[in-house]
Structure 1
């Protein structure tokens, strides 16, 4: 059986669980369960702290796992490697400090930097030859400067509002653009390809929809230019020989604009259908 690590809590847990369900897997029924088996799909799920997943997978104790790219890099487990970005859990890591005090990361030389990701920050600064005194914290990193335990912080940033409220401003380059990723052990286990294919199918289903519409056959080339599909639209004849029925996969984003343009050239009975699962 393929042994899979899944976040048991935190920002990645719910979406990862939903993704696995959409991929056809049966997960835990009780949120307190730490281990469950899906015999039909020949997989075992282990529900672990997100920060520990890279360690278990990198050591070979588990075959694959879902975690954050930030957590993977922070763990510094040579055996664990990213094999697919999963399209959720986006986050950005930046440095922040008192307004006007810092301009570049080189300004941090010899100072204290608080972070919940010491491995990630240390690797980033080491590449740039900047030596600092790292202050590892589990949370509330933005308070470290105000409370006097650090001169600057390195933390997750979305809008930057939380850092501003703590009297800090962002400086220097982006440390990392992170998201949820599928990671694998050094030796690829049997079943990994199937698991990855299913997750890719979920991502395709989330990004695309099916568009069906009727159209005068003489306008087909115009319609195909608006919505070309993945490879080519499916064209079916209607009872009226001057009309055809068209089915095409189209990106979910912007689909209403595509419908408007199809209608404008003469398409009618335009229907959009969600895709539950897909294989491309």
Structure 2
């Protein structure tokens, strides 16, 4: 927080200017699971679009395209049939979200590692984390400091066994150092750590987020900000705070699908403060 009591990442939010066009606002890719598991990617993609990414494209297995196509409008769609084809389809993306409902299998591991060669910043979530439970070094060697891991405590324990015994904050710091990437350890007080030692604890958590799919929305929000070239640590802090603020504004009865629609009000309030 700064001296005014406002979040200190606020000044680095990527507001568009008069000459800004969609490609200048960043290109975000979101990798979908198979035909029966497309909802998570659609939630993440919509959140990325709402938070300001100029172009969002869902990258999906061929069998998922007929399911996703009728359910999206301003979001593009590209099928892929192999990790190599995924990397090619992700060419030119500024950030890619991978893992939500992707499947805990070798294909997900291969897809994550293939994306590491695209130059896009990666936001690795959900199945993209658990798929490396028995080979964490295979994930870590594919990451760099601009990438973001978004585990809840169960996923964190699979990748970093024993670290949580030292407490959430020290665990996140050490995990970020090992992974060489930003770590977002989700929970009532989400901890965000960067490999250069920066650490933040979110202070506006809300229990209304305890419902399926909200983590997918958060991954898309982080990806959308990173795609706009916001520093990954600041993007993670900003997205976590806005995610909770959107949920708090909705209150009881919240489901994940409600969150992207709440973001414009949260963004408008921040924009007014920035003026």
**TM-score for both structures, normalised by structure 2:** 0.30
Greater fraction helix: 2
Greater fraction strand: 1
Structure (1 or 2) with the larger CA radius of gyration: 1
**TM-score for both structures, normalised by structure 1:** 0.30
